[in-house]
Structure 1
């Protein structure tokens, strides 16, 4: 495994910790800064909203710069944000620290996925992306318990000091271990795919990538797949305690089981996508739909719930490496498309959580978000299936001896 991939995974681990760790610290932060639980909650939602916007804005602003220095700079920004959170004398400074840290999130994973792909042969591209995202999935497993443990022993500020230290190590690792050539901006993109003289960082190439129907279909499938999973995940604690009968102290280890599923699904999905990407994506979304439905039906069974929450993580993250390589391939490697994929996932997360909350508010019970999530993922499955069929048809038409090129250029992009 290239050392540069390990360095990128370490960066992803630190950024993932920043996103997830706050959930276990909210009560302490709320008391320490003398703010309400609702205000403290904005440290989570404000982060997510900043990721959604920053993934596009920061990626567009840095598109013409060499990617390795940008990645190092993003991790430095991450360090500054967490340092602000660690020393925050009041709530506004704490929120500012969260926003600053979030600005690096989407662009880091977007650009990082492009750099990771260049460190391995083309046939291992999705697996390389999966390795980079392994840091994020591991942080999902460790984030809440890590934050709770450190915060309980040494206070919530110590958690952010620890994450700041991880960021410093990650920045040094990326600067040292990621080869500069892997972060160079390609000129001309893939042969025959970008107009002569056009660079993948130019404004023309950035915008023209979004003329592809396949790019939009992949972004839609990403948003719906993430949205369905997150709509269910957001209320799992209530499902476990109010339906399954677990105690509130059991929720932490149950979420670790879910996180272990994310890790397994991420690696399996990367390997599968390198073998047959569209089939892997369709199977992942179909598996997630079936799992969420089964979870809703069997939520009263503790044993079934443990198995199904693991499978939710497996199928929920198995599509991530393939979705990223798919959207960047159809966008000819432009960074803005990679950033848009991260934005799409965060928009989906917000949509899924909102719809799941509406279902509970309507009195449909704490299993309702599971069925709502299944419905959202089913829409994503339909979009992905349509995209795969459309692409297969375009390839057949393009390879036909009676046709020199596909009549639907958008579908083949």
Structure 2
């Protein structure tokens, strides 16, 4: 039991480090642009480059490492992540910064995939959803704490310092995993088994659900601070506090959803998307008054983060004996949904629709809810099996 807790703690810390990197540079763009002699818009491509590296490189790295022992791959991916951030910290040119971001991004989806699979290996099958939620909380804490602290550090000590700190933290996390992770044999699944699994209809439907669900969240969240300031009239300080409220709700919502997924995967995913659709539809009205706006932000945070554990738990259930690539592609689907939602929201804002983003996002959540009825059997309530194939892939 103690060894299992240590493994979960080490994986959560590692996910926190990796999760902090994705959005850290967003708050440092003016400094980066001024130092490297590029425009802020050009510097922003470092965010795009990272996202593309996750979406394209994640499945590729997963396929290349699918037959290797999980412990060695996990440590190797953290070392790759550390190297990418070290390149960013030392970058003397815009091109080198982009290269470092891409190198770091290649480990993102593959590492999260391994973390999720090792997590399900560590706990009993009936607690898989709760354990996945605990790992996912590393990302919630990264958004809530890691990114703001990193930006503050960059403002005080220079934009390179946070990347150097991330590289050092990744090395420390690699050492921690080396100390606590058990040694497992390489998985038995072949690459063609993984490819066959990821093209199965139930798996593709879950990937579609993930993209739609995250697009719904991102459509509103990307412009939430702007809406709270311009429409509700909150001060910048109050908006920052509300974003902390959102982050706290996200942390709690993910953990609650993980326990719900252990009881009934079908009910958890449908309840999440139905609740999210209702809350998002109420956001335009709630923005008109401060107290309802605070309640909407909290409810939004609770439901937005609930999507992660329920969708990944579903993927592990539906992918059968070869889930590694399917989980990796689903991680990429989160990023695709975030990008699509941000683009949709941006288009609506440009057309004067800042207040009405919730209606579009609610429609996306309803679309995800509709897909659940095709993807998830009504009786899909039992915990994920722990057959030989699953055990092999979790190792």
Alignment of 1:385 onto 2:373? yes
Aligned to 1:158: 161
- The answer as to 2:325 corresponding to 1:336 is yes
- Residues 205 and 148 from structure 1, CA distance in 2 versus in 1: closer, same or farther, beyond 3 angstroms? same
Of residues 104, 107, 119 in structure 2, which corresponds to 1:116?
Answer: 119
CA offset at residue 133 of structure 1? 1.4
1:138-217 correspondence to structure 2 within 5 Å:
138-181=141-184, 184-187=185-188, 200=189, 202-217=190-205
Contact 2:266 2:378 in 1 (8 A): no
Distance in 2, matches of 1:92 and 1:302, equals 45
Deviation, structure 1 residue 211: 4.3
Q: 1:70-92 deviations in whole A, cap 9, x for unaligned?
A: 11111001101111111111111
| Alpha-carbon contact 1:23-1:144 (below 8 Å) kept | no
Indicate the SS of the match to 2:378: helix
Which of 349, 369, 381 lines up with 2:338 in the alignment? 349
1:5-404 correspondence runs (5 A): 5-181=8-184, 184-187=185-188, 200=189, 202-332=190-320, 333-363=322-352, 365-388=353-376, 391-392=377-378
C-alpha distance after superposition, 1:100-159 (max 9, x if no partner): 111111111112101110001111111111111111110010133202321122111111
Q: Which has the higher contact order (CA 8 A, sep 6+)?
A: 2
CA distance in 1, matches of 2:338, 2:178: 32
d(CA) in 2 for partners of 1:52 and 1:150? 29
Cα distance between partner residues in 1 of 2:335 and 2:23: 14
For the 8 Å contact 2:113–2:327, the answer to whether it is kept is yes
Following TM superposition, where does structure 1 have runs of at least 4 consecutive aligned residues deviating by more than 4 angstroms? none
CA distance in 2, matches of 1:253, 1:164: 29
Q: 1:294 to 1:160 in 2, by over 3 A?
A: same
**The residue matched to 2:123 in structure 1 has which SS?**
coil
Q: Highest Rg: 1 or 2?
A: 1
Contact 1:20 1:143 in 2 (8 A): no
In the alignment, which residue of structure 1 is the partner of 2:388? none
Which runs of no fewer than 5 residues in structure 1 stay unpaired? 188-199, 396-413
Task: Give unmatched runs, 5+ long, in structure 2.
Answer: 382-395
Q: Following the alignment from structure 1 to structure 2, what is the Cα–Cα distance between the partners of residues 374 and 394? A: 25
Q: Residue deviations 1:271-292, cap 9 Å, x none?
A: 1101111101111111111111
SS at match of 1:35: coil
Deviations 1:314-361 (A, max 9, x none): 101112112112112221243100101011111111111111112122
Q: Report if aligned partners of 2:266, 2:380 keep a CA contact under 8 Å in 1.
A: no
Length-normalised TM-score, structure 2: 0.91
Q: Contact between 2:26 and 2:47, CA under 8 Å: does it hold in 1?
A: yes
Shift of the 393–237 alpha-carbon distance from structure 1 to 2, 3 Å rule, reads closer
Tell whether the 8 Å contact from 1:242 to 1:366 is kept in structure 2 after alignment: no
- When structure 1 is superposed on structure 2, of 23-32 and 244-253 the one drifting more is 244-253
Is the CA contact 1:280–1:319 (under 8 Å) kept in the aligned structure 2?
A: no
Relative to structure 1, is the Cα distance of residues 74 and 242 closer, same or farther in structure 2, using a 3 angstrom cutoff?
A: same
Contact between 1:281 and 1:323, CA under 8 Å: does it hold in 2? yes
Query: 1:60 Cα deviation (Å)?
Result: 1.0
